[in-house]
């Protein structure tokens, strides 16, 4: 995996990014090609629109995660784990398990964040990041935590 351009910002080093990746199950990251830091303004400058307020993205066609604008180490880790969560949801979960999440578990309260309310995929990614980073300040419901423990971090 290529970890690129994190020396352009001061919140998280490339080594810290690779440490975060290494603490995850190998199948969650082994087919991700790269994780880049690139400010949103540079995408806009070349004609690629970036929705306001969006801090990261996962591009399935390139198997690449881009982190746009950072303000702290903890947010940087959360964004990277969240985007890996999208890869896991789309690629590692079986379609049967994805359906189970979408129909029975995701998209229902309690939510770990306001953003998790957006849709079932964002709920999954927010739960994945919370579970991965063991953020104690936000509460992961036992139903969602159990789904991750049994199906994702088995």
- The residue sitting closest to Zn ion, measured at its beta carbon, is 125
81-120 mask for Zn ion (x: CB under 5 A)?
A: ----------------------------------------
Q: What angle do CA 44, 45, 47 make, to 5 degrees?
A: 60
Binding mask of the shown chain, residues 28 to 57, with x at each position contacting Zn ion by CB under 5 A: ------------------------------
CB of 86 to Zn ion, least distance (A): 6
Q: Which two tokens stand for residue 93?
A: 């979960």
| Smallest gap from residue 116 Cβ to Zn ion (A) | 9
Tokens 């949801």 correspond to 89
In the complex, the smallest distance separating the C-beta of residue 125 from Zn ion, rounded to whole angstroms, is 5
HEC secondary structure over 8-75 = HCCCCCHHHHHHHHHCCCHHHCCCCCEEEECCHHHHHHCCCCCCCCCCEEEECCCCEEEECCCCCHHH
Phi, psi of 59 (to 5 degrees): -105, 100
Q: Which of 6, 42, 8, 40 is nearest to 21 (CA)?
A: 6
Number of chain residues interacting with Zn ion (CB under 5 A): 2
Q: For Zn ion, what does the binding mask look like between residues 115 and 154, x meaning CB under 5 A?
A: -------x--x-----------------------------
Q: Site residues (CB under 5 A) for Zn ion?
A: 122, 125
């Amino acid at each position: 995996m290529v970890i690129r351009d994190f020396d352009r910002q001061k919140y998280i080093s490339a080594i810290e990014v690779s440490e975060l990746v290494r603490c995850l199950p190998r199948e969650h990251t082994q087919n991700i090609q790269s994780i880049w830091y690139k400010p949103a303004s540079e995408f806009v400058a070349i004609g690629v629109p970036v929705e306001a307020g969006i801090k990261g993205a996962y591009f399935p066609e390139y198997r690449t995660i881009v982190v746009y604008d950072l303000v702290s180490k903890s947010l940087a880790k959360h964004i990277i784990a969240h985007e890996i969560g999208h890869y896991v949801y789309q690629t590692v979960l079986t379609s049967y398990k994805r359906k189970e999440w979408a129909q029975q578990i995701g998209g229902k309260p309690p939510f770990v964040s306001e953003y998790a309310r957006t849709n079932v995929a964002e709920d999954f990614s927010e739960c994945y990041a919370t579970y991965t980073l063991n953020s104690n300040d936000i509460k992961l419901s036992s139903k969602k935590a159990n789904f991750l423990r049994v199906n994702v971090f088995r």
